[in-house]
Amino acid sequence: MNTVRTLALVGALLPAATAAQETTLRFVSAFPENGLYVKHVMPWMQKFNAEGKGLLQLNFIGSSPKVMPSFEVGTAVKNGVVDIALNTGAFYTNLMPEADALKLAQISAAEQRRNGAHDYINRIWNAKANMQYLVRFVEHTPFHIYLTKRIDKPDLTGLKLRITPVYRDFFQALGATLIQTAPAEVYTALERGVVDGYGWPIHGIFDLNWHERTKFRVDPGFYNAEVSLVMNLDAYRRLSPAQREFLERQVLALEAQNEVWKQHNAEEARRQAQAGIQTITFDAATAKQFVERAYETGWAGILKAAPDTAPQLRRLLSR
């Protein structure tokens, strides 16, 4: 082939080769669209897409329950139906019991990168769920028990509580009757009196109007709410080094914002008080036992379901 023809050929191929370098990833949220997690991630996604032109783009397909049920998003990531999901481990325990262990972390996401927890999580997530665990963007956030009826000690006997796997072992130990629902079904369950309360983080109860049906919050909170971005492992491995480096930089920038939850959570607690939600508190010794019981029952559940990995996870995630 002569030089002129070779150059013409290279010229013809170049635009196509450049265009092929841009990859678009399908992004789904397992939490509702009008909720605070999607709102938190949207500005980040816009910046991602602005800076990633020609390299990597996120295409927001939508959220649960509209696009698919919350508890099916994990499987969609595993199978590659979705490339990236905004999700929490409690919604994909069907793939592996370890998914729900991240709520038990007592060290920050940044510390988890430093002490090897993040890499260990990825070993499990890669092997068992065909997922790359990209970034935890919610932390510093306790869960609470919210009730329509008053209790005066940590005893849920005779009460029906809405749960996800997050709360199952703890609420069961406290004597509750358990009813699992996705976030989208909590309001109706409260409205119809199907439940007397629910587990949920300190923030976000106004997003779907649950405050209208909530009379009490039990203090103290327990655990550490986890919401993360997870990616289909095949899609992750298909990325070029430049795309991976860009993605890594973007997710670290998202993680670097995690301190905002501290302030936000304090504001949400004030807003709950203003909405007339009363706090139920215990004496100091009872409160301490309550939180210890939460961790004991939580780890017992993970240890039983995943005896090979739970001890190491516990060492890496505990203080």
In angstroms, what CA-CA distances link 125 with 50, 92, 99? 29, 11, 8
Q: Which is nearer to ligand 173, 228 or 250 (CB)?
A: 228
Q: Which residues pair with 230 in a beta bridge?
A: 85, 133
Rounded to a whole number of angstroms, the minimum distance from the CB of residue 91 to ligand 173 is 7
DSSP 265-309: HHHHHHHHHHTTPEEE---HHHHHHHHHHHHHHHHHHHHHH-TTT
Name which of 183 and 301 has its Cβ closer to ligand 173: 183
CA distance 125 to 97: 11
Residues 140/259, Cβ–Cβ less than 8 Å: yes
Cβ nearer to ligand 173, comparing 55 with 305? 305
Return the residue matching tokens 């039983």: 304
Question: Looking up tokens 């009008």, which residue turns up?
Answer: 34
Q: Token pair for residue 310?
A: 């739970």
Q: Least Å distance between CB 113 and ligand 173?
A: 20
Taking the C-alpha atoms of residue 88 and residue 98, their distance in angstroms, rounded to an integer, is 12
Closer CB to ligand 173, residue 88 or residue 258?
A: 88
Cβ of residue 108: shortest distance to ligand 173, in angstroms?
16
Distance separating alpha carbons of residues 120 and 115, to the nearest angstrom: 10
Min separation Cβ 99 and ligand 173, Å: 11
CB of 178 vs ligand 173, minimal distance in Å = 12
Nearer to ligand 173, 55 or 291 (CB): 291
**Edge-to-edge strand order for the sheet containing 197-201?**
177-180, 160-163, 197-201, 143-147, 216-222, 278-280
- The span from the CA of 216 to the CA of 272, in Å, is 9
**Between residues 82 and 86, which has the closer beta carbon with respect to ligand 173?**
86
Interacting residues with ligand 173 (CB under 6 A): 88, 90, 164, 166, 183, 199-201, 225-227
- Helix, coil or strand: residue 56: strand
> Smallest gap, in angstroms, from Cβ of residue 186 to ligand 173?
8
> Judged by CB, which is closer to ligand 173: 227, or 251?
227
For residue 31, the minimal CB distance to ligand 173 (Å) is: 7
